[in-house]
Amino acid sequence: MAEIIGGLGTSHVPSIAAAIDKGLADTAEWKPFFDGYLPARQWMLDHKPDIAVVIFNDHGNAFFLDKIPTLAVGVADSYPPIDEGWGPRALPDFAGARDFSWHLVDQLVENHFDPLVCRELEVDHGLQVPMELFFGRPEVWPVQVVPILVNTIQYPIPTPQRMWDLGRVLRGAIESWATHEKVVILGTGGLSHQLQGSRAGFINRQADRAWLAEIGPHPDKYLAMSREDYVEVFGSEGAELIMWLVMRGALSETVRTVHSHYCAPVSMTGAGMVILENAVAGS
């Protein structure tokens, strides 16, 4: 069977992409943020995954407010980076793990999920930024990707428990996939931020740091929160953090936190990442 080698959570702030494109990664403003990702990039080099399952939300690019699926899964051979209004970025297309994607879709339907199945899909910074943070900017990406898109843009967004359940089905799909491929799961979004309304510019540093510390050992705390709680604690856009629960739900009950990193503000957000591995019995 295929093997889950770890789960990583990360922010996917679009200004990160702009900083990379403009060569600002080593400036005083951006270096503390990017330096915190160096251990994650080394982790990827050491573990050499074959497939990256990326859970993210589209930001009005592939889907718009007239048609937003609660859950969508890509089954394409490749995924071009979408032009988000500033011109196409100098990124190679992302190769798709097509056969496994179809297997995942089948397992989702078998377990009473009803995803929109995307045979063609362009992907925005929600997928682009995590891939760049963890793999750099190679001529060819070293992994195939499985995009899982979750609506965190327009009410009603899914519940935290539903995202956890999605992670459990994802785990079952990987473990029943009859290859020896190594799979890494990327939960993306957040951390705390709000881009509109009376709380525009809101960041909750204390809650962000607690999330990074507790998402591994104490995820039940975050399953018990309502969607309204996420908006109150992390901001309207910070509610993207429910997508990290897909990653965490796919891992074992007991995990170890290999590395975490936090930096705020990054643009108008708290931003950071965590690396989780399934704990070995007795460790």
206-264, pLDDT tens digit by residue? 999 999 999 999 999 999 999 999 999 999 999 999 999 999 999 999 999 999 999 99
Spatial distance between the Cα atoms of 105 and 115, rounded to a whole number of angstroms: 7
Cβ burial 25-41 (10 Å sphere, 16+ → b, else e): eeeeebeebbebbeebe
| Cα–Cα distances in angstroms (integers) from residue 250 to residues 71, 91, 181, 280, in the given order | 17, 29, 16, 16
Asked whether residue 206 is assigned to any structural domain, the reply reads yes
Q: Which helix (H) or strand (E) holds 191?
A: none
From 124, 241, 248, select the one nearest 185 (Cα to Cα): 248
122 in a structural domain: yes
Distances (CA, A) of 197 to 142, 153, 202, 212, 236: 41, 15, 10, 26, 9
Assess whether pLDDT exceeds 60 at residue 124: yes
Which domain range does residue 47 map to?
3-278
Q: Residue for token digits 């990290």?
A: 244
Residue 7 near residue 265 (C-beta atoms within 8 A)? no
* 168 in Cβ contact with 249 (< 8 Å): yes
Q: Catalytic residue, from 12, 103, 112, 125: name it.
A: 125
Task: Please tell me the predicted confidence (pLDDT) of residue 85.
Answer: 87
- Is residue 283 a part of any domain in this protein? no
How many helical (H) and strand (E) elements, i.e. helices and strands, does the chain have? 10, 10
Please indicate, yes or no, if residue 158 is contained in any of the structural domains.
yes
User: What is the Cα–Cα distance from 57 to 71, expressed in whole angstroms?
Assistant: 9
- The active-site residue, picked from 59, 193, 218, 259, is 193
Residue 157 in domain = yes
Of the candidates 97, 72, 95, which has an alpha carbon nearest to the alpha carbon of residue 149? Answer: 72
DSSP string, 102-155: HHHHHHHHHTT--PEEESS--B-HHHHHHHHHHH---SS-SSEEEEEEE--SSS
Residue 123 placed within a domain:
yes
Phi, psi of 59 (to 5 degrees): -115, 50
Average pLDDT rounded to a whole number, residues 37-53: 97
CB-CB contact of 245 with 188 (8 Å)? no
283 has a pLDDT exceeding 70: no
Active site residue 125: yes
What global pTM score does this model have? 0.95
Asked whether residue 132 is assigned to any structural domain, the reply reads yes
Q: How confident is the model at residue 281 (pLDDT cuts 50, 70, 90)?
A: low
pLDDT of 103 reads 98
Take residue 263 and report the two structure tokens written for it.
């930096």
Domain count, the chain: 1
- CA-nearest of 254, 272, 158, 150 to 209 is 272
Please determine, for residue 99, whether its predicted confidence score (pLDDT) is greater than 80: yes
- 38 pLDDT more than 80: yes
CATH code, 264: 3.40.830.10
Query: Counting beta carbons within 10 angstroms of the beta carbon of residue 283, is it exposed (0 to 12), middle (13 to 18) or buried (19 or more)?
Result: exposed
**Angle between the N-to-C axes of helices 205-214 and 227-234, in degrees from 0 to 180, rounded to the nearest 10:** 120
Tell me the C-alpha distance between 9 and 272, whole Å. Answer: 8
CA distance 137 to 104: 28
